[in-house]
């Protein structure tokens, strides 16, 4: 925007602002029709000025948080003017509508200075700073104060009615008194506005003198007009050109405009200078594809290629990509050299191929390791079984070698071999189990005892496994109990006639009918022995305890 246009827009803005004040000045003395006409003109002029300024800010400023705060504040100013028209044109028709129209005033009244303060904070700190905490510290109290005003009928913290609530429309000083919430809201407005001004003045110390002078002049005029209204116009009920809210609104706009004009806020002007110094290949055209701005690095493309790039990326060369997009008044085009990207992609494809081959080798190696680990685990189990049964197998081998099949003793020897084989079989089954695969309760120990008892019958011993079949023993206890049982029956086998075996609390009990007592070898577990008539009762206690179920 040229300097001539800037000055013209400034004087037009000021002229319309004064015109709106003149229109309001004659609203009270004009006939009803003209009063309405002048009030409408006053509102339309203010609304048009605010909308014009918002559109100007959107086009002139870069998309920063400061710009967002300025646009939001100006939008709330426009809403405030609309709410005032609504109150005085429609709120007088109903007491409740009139009362809540006054309450709703406080929404823009607390948020406008809060947004002004936030914009000043972002202006001073820049976009690189963290803004979440600042936004919460400023906007949360504003929201709470606005909520307090809207819910005044519940607590009367802002306005305290001196009449019945059904007749209270916040009209006339004699109908209400101000509560602490009212003064808290105005203190908040003054505090946020003053802090914003202080931040701006501190920021302009680094800038030329005229900027600070302009800001100080606007602030002095702002305060002077407010004092005149507060101490002269309102007490004497003089006719006025502007109300106090309008003075606040347009004074803030003036302060923000000074910040924009003084380049305190990043601005989108001097497009030609920017583009002529730009090292990137960029081209901006109007709607008819005529060049408007061109960077120092040209975009060498035909009109057909430019048009085609608006719908899809176009390649001027295999590595040079042309892209385009529609903007407000035309089109923007730019090129990107993708040669390096293509080379990286080719390198990445080769690397992926190598990685794929390596992954296949690693997968095959892992499969072999898994199979080997499985075989090693099996071999460890088989080694444990071999080690555990070695003694029994040697005894079986020695017994068979010492016995002649033609001798009468061969049958008894074979019966003892069956007993040892039953032990070996059941011991192997137990060794194939683990604590994780062992169910609780289980029948493993009872089944082992039952099978050994069945083969003892071939040795001429009437044997039975009786009582509870399931028990809760650890796998280690089951091994030790079964081994101890095997030691006991080997010791008593030549002298036994009958035997019963059962699971009890904490171990295994045997009831034996024997011809004589036997000195027991060490069985690995404590064995308790009791004698009753011709029966001998043996109790094998588990090391860790357990119980039949």
* pLDDT for residue 135 is more than 90: no
Burial class (CB in 10 A: 0-12, 13-18, 19+), 175: middle
What confidence score (pLDDT) does residue 111 get? 92
For the chain, how many helices (H) and strands (E)?
Answer: 16, 14
Q: Picking from 164-168, 203-207, 472-476, which range would have the lowest pLDDT averaged per residue?
A: 203-207
* pLDDT for residue 115 is more than 60: yes
Number of C-alpha atoms within 13 angstroms, CB side, residue 202? 11
The token pair at 453 is 């008892």
What confidence score (pLDDT) does residue 130 get? 52
Which of 5, 69, 50 is closest to 265 using CA atoms?
A: 69
What confidence score (pLDDT) does residue 347 get? 86
**Buried (b) or exposed (e) across 261-284, using 16+ Cβ within 10 A?**
ebebbbbeeeeeeebeeeeebbbb
Tens digit of pLDDT for each residue in 175-212? 888 889 999 999 998 999 889 888 888 877 766 667 77
Helix, strand or coil for residue 421? helix
Percent of the chain predicted with pLDDT > 90? 5
DSSP 247-275: HHHHHHHHHHHHHHHTTSS-B---HHHHH
Residue 423 is given by DSSP the state: H
Tens digit of pLDDT for each residue in 49-58? 999 988 888 8
In this structure, the number of other CB atoms found within 10 A of the CB of residue 23 comes to: 21
Helix axes 32-60, 65-89, angle to 10 degrees: 170
Q: Which position has the higher pLDDT, 285 or 205?
A: 285
Q: What pTM value is reported for the model?
A: 0.52
In the predicted model, what is the mean pLDDT of the chain? 79
* pLDDT for residue 219 is more than 70: yes
What confidence score (pLDDT) does residue 232 get? 85
* pLDDT for residue 85 is more than 60: yes
CA distances from 167 to 62, 161, 163, 337 (A): 50, 9, 7, 74
What confidence score (pLDDT) does residue 187 get? 92
The token pair at 192 is 């946020």
Instruction: Please give the average per-residue pLDDT across 297-325, as a whole number.
Output: 84
Instruction: Please give the average per-residue pLDDT across 330-358, as a whole number.
Output: 84
Please, which pLDDT band fits residue 148 given cuts at 50, 70 and 90? very high
Max mean pLDDT among 69-73, 124-128, 467-471, 486-490 falls in 69-73
Instruction: Please give the average per-residue pLDDT across 227-237, as a whole number.
Output: 82
What confidence score (pLDDT) does residue 519 get? 78
How far is Cα 290 from Cα 36, in angstroms, rounded to an integer? 50
* pLDDT for residue 293 is more than 60: yes
* pLDDT for residue 451 is more than 60: yes
What lies within 8 Å, CB to CB, of 397 at 6+ separation is: none
Q: Which position has the higher pLDDT, 178 or 519?
A: 178
* pLDDT for residue 163 is more than 80: yes
Please, which pLDDT band fits residue 272 given cuts at 50, 70 and 90? low
What confidence score (pLDDT) does residue 397 get? 59
Instruction: Please give the average per-residue pLDDT across 292-314, as a whole number.
Output: 81
* CB-based contact 112:76 (threshold 8 Å): yes
How far is Cα 411 from Cα 416, in angstroms, rounded to an integer? 9
How far is Cα 487 from Cα 493, in angstroms, rounded to an integer? 10
What confidence score (pLDDT) does residue 110 get? 92
Instruction: Please give the average per-residue pLDDT across 343-361, as a whole number.
Output: 85
Please, which pLDDT band fits residue 144 given cuts at 50, 70 and 90? very high
The token pair at 99 is 């009362």
Tens digit of pLDDT for each residue in 356-407? 888 888 888 787 777 776 666 565 655 566 665 656 666 665 555 566 565 6
Instruction: Please give the average per-residue pLDDT across 452-460, as a whole number.
Output: 76
* pLDDT for residue 86 is more than 80: no
Q: Which position has the higher pLDDT, 52 or 526?
A: 52
Q: Picking from 287-296, 346-355, 397-406, which range would have the lowest pLDDT averaged per residue?
A: 397-406
* CB-based contact 68:135 (threshold 8 Å): no
Instruction: Please give the average per-residue pLDDT across 519-530, as a whole number.
Output: 80
Strand partners, 291: 285
* CB-based contact 269:262 (threshold 8 Å): no
Instruction: Please give the average per-residue pLDDT across 234-263, as a whole number.
Output: 82
Instruction: Please give the average per-residue pLDDT across 480-498, as a whole number.
Output: 79
Q: Which position has the higher pLDDT, 63 or 233?
A: 233
How far is Cα 107 from Cα 45, in angstroms, rounded to an integer? 23
Residue 90 is given by DSSP the state: T
How far is Cα 273 from Cα 269, in angstroms, rounded to an integer? 9
What confidence score (pLDDT) does residue 196 get? 87
The H or E element that residue 296 is part of is none
Instruction: Please give the average per-residue pLDDT across 399-425, as a whole number.
Output: 64
Q: Lay out the sheet containing 320-327: strands in order across.
A: 291-294, 282-286, 330-337, 320-327, 314-317
What confidence score (pLDDT) does residue 402 get? 61
Instruction: Please give the average per-residue pLDDT across 323-340, as a whole number.
Output: 81
* pLDDT for residue 348 is more than 80: yes
What confidence score (pLDDT) does residue 331 get? 85
Q: Which position has the higher pLDDT, 240 or 350?
A: 350
Max mean pLDDT among 163-177, 266-280, 428-442 falls in 163-177
Burial class (CB in 10 A: 0-12, 13-18, 19+), 374: exposed
């Amino acid at each position: 925007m040229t300097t001539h246009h800037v000055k013209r827009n400034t004087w037009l803005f000021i002229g319309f602002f004064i015109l709106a004040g003149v229109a309001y000045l004659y609203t009270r003395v004009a006939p009803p029709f003209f009063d309405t006409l002048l009030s409408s003109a006053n509102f339309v002029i203010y609304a048009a000025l605010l909308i014009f300024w918002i559109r100007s800010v959107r086009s002139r400023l870069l998309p920063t948080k400061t710009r967002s705060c300025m646009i939001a504040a100006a939008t709330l100013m426009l809403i405030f003017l609309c709410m005032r028209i609504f109150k005085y044109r429609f709120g007088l028709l109903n007491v409740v509508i009139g009362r809540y129209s006054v309450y709703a005033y406080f929404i823009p009244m607390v948020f406008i200075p809060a947004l002004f303060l936030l914009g000043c904070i972002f202006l001073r700190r820049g976009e690189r700073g963290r803004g979440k905490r600042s936004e919460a510290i400023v906007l949360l109290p504003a929201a709470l104060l606005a909520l307090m005003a809207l819910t005044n009928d519940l607590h009367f913290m802002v306005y305290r009615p001196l009449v019945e609530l059904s007749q209270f429309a916040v009209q006339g000083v004699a109908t209400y008194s101000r509560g602490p919430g009212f003064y808290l809201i105005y203190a908040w407005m003054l505090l946020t506005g003053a802090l914003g001004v202080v931040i701006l003045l501190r920021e302009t110390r680094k800038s030329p003198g005229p900027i600070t002078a302009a800001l100080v002049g606007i602030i002095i005029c702002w305060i002077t007009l407010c004092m005149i209204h507060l101490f002269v116009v309102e007490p004497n009920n003089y006719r006025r050109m502007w109300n106090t809210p309008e003075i606040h609104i347009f004074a803030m706009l003036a302060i923000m405009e000074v910040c924009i004009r003084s380049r305190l806020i990043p601005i989108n002007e001097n497009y030609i200078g920017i583009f002529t110094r730009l090292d990137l290949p960029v081209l901006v055209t109007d709607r008819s594809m005529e060049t408007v701005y061109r960077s120092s690095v040209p975009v060498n493309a035909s009109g057909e290629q430019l048009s085609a790039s608006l719908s899809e990326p176009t390649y001027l060369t295999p590595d040079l990509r042309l892209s385009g997009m529609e903007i407000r008044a035309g089109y923007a085009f730019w090129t990107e050299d993708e040669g390096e990207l293509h080379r990286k992609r080719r390198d990445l494809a080769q690397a992926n191929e190598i990685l794929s081959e390596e992954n296949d080798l690693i997968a095959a190696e892992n499969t072999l390791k898994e199979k080997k680990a499985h075989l090693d685990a099996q071999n460890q189990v088989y080694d444990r079984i071999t080690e555990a049964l070695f003694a029994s197998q040697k005894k079986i081998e020695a017994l068979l070698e010492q016995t002649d099949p033609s001798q009468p003793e061969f049958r008894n020897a074979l019966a003892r071999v069956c007993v040892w084989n039953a032990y070996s079989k059941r011991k192997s089954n137990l060794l194939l189990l683990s604590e994780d695969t062992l169910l609780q309760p289980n029948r493993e120990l009872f089944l082992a005892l039952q099978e050994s008892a069945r083969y003892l019958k071939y040795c001429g011993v009437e044997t039975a496994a009786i009582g509870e079949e399931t028990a809760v023993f650890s796998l280690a206890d089951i091994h030790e109990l079964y081994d101890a049982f095997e030691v006991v029956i080997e010791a008593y086998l030549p002298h036994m006639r009958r035997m019963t075996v059962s699971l009890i609390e904490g171990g295994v009990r045997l009831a034996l009918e024997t011809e004589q007592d036997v000195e027991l070898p060490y069985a690995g577990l404590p064995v308790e022995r009791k004698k009753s008539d011709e029966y001998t009762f043996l109790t094998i206690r588990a090391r860790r305890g357990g119980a039949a179920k």
